[in-house]
Chain A
Amino acid sequence: MAYDQLVKAEKGDKLFLLGNEAAVRGAIEAGVSVAATYPGTPSSEIGNILSVVAEKADMYFEFSANEKVAMEVAATAAASGLRSFTFMKHVGLNVAADSFMTTAYSGVKGGMVVFVADDPSLFSSQNEQDTRNYARLANMPILEPSNPQEIKDFMVYAFDLSEHFGIPVLFRTTTRVSHMRGIVEFGDKQAPKCTTKDVESDKHWKKGFFVKNPSEFVPVPANSLNMHTRLVEKMAKITEEANESVKNEVYSFVDGALQGKYGVISSSSAFNYAYDVVNQENLGMDILKLGLSYPVPKELIADFCNNLEGIFVVEEVDPILEKEVLAIVGEYNLDIPVYGKFDETFPMVHEFNCDIVKIGFNKVLSEIKTDLVNVPETYELSDGLNKVVENIPHRAPTLCAGCSHRSAYFAAVKAYEELGFAKEDMIFASDIGCYTLGISPPFETADYLLAMGSSVGDGCGFSIATNQNVMSFIGDSTFFHSGLSPLVNAVHNKNNFVLTILDNRITAMTGGQPNPGIPIDGMGHEAPAVSIENIVKAIGVEFIEIVNPHNVKKTVDIYKKALEYDGVAVVIARYPCTLIKGQKRKKPMEIKDNCVQCLHCVEKLACPAISYLNGKVVVDEALCKACTVCIQICPNKAIGVKKGD
């Protein structure tokens, strides 16, 4: 599908869309004027698509330096009367949280949606925090779509809700909703609008007008007291909306064993599993699906529970809805058991699926009747096949062939070894990006990691707390995201560690977005590239070296000097990511006849293009990116550039 179709397609058209693609269409149908993000899986595709279609959709779009900036761009656009959209992964909301919390107080003029993609089972994240907690923390409404069609429809609803009540709206998906594909029927497109003074625009997007009102927008304590009161009043009104909302609906079945006796309350991806199990197993339980799950539709839930003999709460990660239902059962004096995570009907961690829901239902229902739920069975494999399956080799994600991070790690390890430092005296503070893959052998250059930008602050702490040698590694995009302040801290506090900025000229892990170091902005236009070395210099770092890490000897020498330097040493390891399109294809490497199978290259580089097969070292020509590192490190000079075609 060409992404243009998300803009061009008309009402009634049907496309087979990824949840995140449907989110883009939702933003277009809602008439969004300003969108901003920092890429993070599982939300990244939204930005990738907007960077292509924003202009055609009359939208301003940027990849912001981090999620907090994106939040601020969206908040101010909404305060100026425009519809604004920011989106991020769950942990991105932690970065944005400081500003996010206050946006609930100050409110909005134009609709504002904060789309947050959670990652139960951690397909691509450091934790599985549950964004529904943030709705409670900030006192902000939250919508939870379950599939791509709902993502599209709920987006339009979310903007209307936000604008109507003058409050930003949280929009929570999970990996299985954002990365689910399904059939999506399109609706009408609204033209971008402005809820304040309409002004002329000299750009392709609509401009708003900010009307001053400090009592509304400046949270000094005297103002904030009233802002908080107003927020609570707004949420009380939205509770009424939630009790009536079409996004909170009951799914009933024509027949089934437990009709009228048991019920299910669910939301998001968990609803899909609950629905399929109730349907397939012909259980007949009504399901209350909460699309607008906070503020909690208390009366609706109380009505639903009344006269039931038991309630299942099916939700992924934290038992948030379960707690709400328990509170309602208590408040309304309903004598009904609630089955969820607290009583161990369902697991407290990781994503669900139909099998997990079946097992949970069966724990309770088998007490009533034994054959209500067909618990999942596995097909018994033969011993011979089982033995093979048990020993399947792992296929963990690895640094790509030709990746400059591999070269930098190789040189860093070689440098500390040549200086005679013991491995246990080295501390490697890692960061969020492809380079976290340095955790694996042979490098093992990831000993500690907290969050985006943490490698620099962790370097500060380790260098104070220990006498060990500290090496921090951060990517270019992550450095712009949150590496600057801790580097200021490191210089000012005379910390002593080596910081490598792995500048591969792209935000690689999330699929290749530009960052402030690249001369292109989020809409594909030319933009000033911000120089990493100038920043580092301006901060006051005195040891700065820039190196192409594929030059092994030079990089090792620089690392040796850096490790012996007393103070903050910054090495900028600069070489473009091999996944950047349009790079010239170079001739691959080949193993020469004088190879003695010492396996130095295989073992020290773990390059996907080099394997040891049937007693011979071989290069996979299709994978090889001609970084030449293997040539440089071969003790027998047995690797060379392939001759001929």
Chain B
Amino acid sequence: MDKNIDYNIYISGVGGQGIIKTSVIIGEAAMNEGLDVVMSEIHGMSQRGGSVSTELKIGNYKSSIVEQSKADMILGFEPIEVLRGLDKSNKDTKLVFNDFPVIPSTLTQTGETYPDIENDIIANLKDNFDEVYPISATKLAKEAGSVLSLNMVLLGAAVSTKDFPLSRESVETAMKNNLAPKFHEMNLKAIELGYNSVKEL
């Protein structure tokens, strides 16, 4: 086991998408693999339909906030929430994200527009980063059994990327320890679908 692993993950999305649970599963899997890990999460007011993010640092760290341009991966549950995390990115950052939007309900009030996912977001990201993995995670989650398994689709996708520091097996074990047994089968399928979706890109 390589104890010199150093891997920072920034996870972002919208309140209610299962972001914190996903992060806890990754952190617990890291702990079970004998790695050091710290994580930061934000609760409270920001959860009422606002942007939510967590940060995970695997390695020799005491602080749990990912430094500027130091994220090895941005795991996005929603397209524009990936963009909000780009100050943590560098050229080699892997961008794994759900291509399905959650439109902010205040657009009509603010007069803002949601960018075009294919042309504005994905194409531009591909211009700037070598590893861009847009996943139809919402669709795959429904295929796995419920849109609620969205987070496990994305987790499966993250695990399948090159250099991801944790094994699929330990992530699945941590999932089982954190989610209700009656949903294990669905969530394993979600992980499988997410895992394969990156491989197919």
Contact = CB atoms under 8 A, between A and B. Distances in A.
**Does chain A bind chain B?**
yes
Interface stretch (A70-78, A271-279, A294-302, A303-311): A271-279
Interface in A377-403: 377-379, 381-382, 384-385, 388-389, 391-400
B180 to A, nearest CB: 11
B107 interface: yes
A602 interface: yes
Interface stretch (A218-226, A256-264, A548-556, A604-612): A604-612
A509 interface: yes
B109 A603 contact: yes
B60 A279 contact: yes
A606 B124 CA distance: 31
B166 interface: no
B105 A275 contact: no
Given A181-B24, A398-B105, A377 B68 contact: yes
B64 interface: yes
Interface in B44-75: 44-51, 60-65, 67-69
B141 interface: no
Interface in A469-510: 509-510
B43 A611 contact: no
Interface string A415-457: 0000000000000000000100100111000000000000000
Contacts, number: 190
A391 B83 CA distance: 10
B107 to A, nearest CB: 6
Contacts of A182: 37-39, 64
A45 B46 CA distance: 15
A41 B45 contact: yes
Interface in A331-390: 353-355, 376-379, 381-382, 384-385, 388-389
A395 B83 contact: no
Contact of B69 (A14, A377, A391, A613): A377
B108 A599 contact: yes
A637 B97 CA distance: 40
A217 B86 CA distance: 57
**Residue among B37, B48, B87, B114 with max Cβ neighbours from chain A (10 Å):** B48
B31 interface: yes
B41 A18 contact: yes
A176 B69 contact: no
B112 A181 contact: no
A44 interface: yes
A388 B45 contact: no
Q: B-side binding surface: helix, strand, loop or mixed?
A: mixed
B42 A179 contact: yes
Contacts of A393: 80, 104, 106-107, 110, 112-114
A269 to B, nearest CB: 7
Contacts of B188: none
Q: How large is the interface on B (under 10, 10 to 19, 20 to 34, 35 or more residues)?
A: 35 or more
B63 A388 contact: no
A394 B104 contact: yes
A1 B174 CA distance: 10
A434 B47 CA distance: 11
B88 to A, nearest CB: 9
Contact of A180 (B39, B112, B147): B39
Interface in B120-144: 120-121, 124-125, 127-128
A183 B86 CA distance: 28
Nearest to A176: B40
B103 A183 contact: no
Given A381-B128, A607-B105, A622-B147, 5 more contacts: A147-B62, A276-B62, A353-B65, A393-B114, A394-B110
Interface of B: 14-15, 23-24, 27-28, 31, 36-51, 60-65, 67-69, 80-81, 83-84, 86-87, 89-91, 93, 103-110, 112-115, 120-121, 124-125, 127-128, 147, 177-178
26 contacts: A14-B31, A16-B31, A18-B41, A44-B43, A175-B42, A176-B40, A176-B65, A181-B64, A183-B31, A279-B60, A377-B69, A378-B87, A379-B93, A379-B128, A389-B83, A391-B113, A392-B83, A393-B107, A393-B112, A394-B112, A395-B49, A396-B106, A608-B105, A609-B105, A611-B103, A613-B103
Q: Which 6 pairs of residues, A with B, have the shortest CB-CB distance?
A: A124-B44, A41-B44, A272-B63, A397-B50, A393-B112, A397-B48
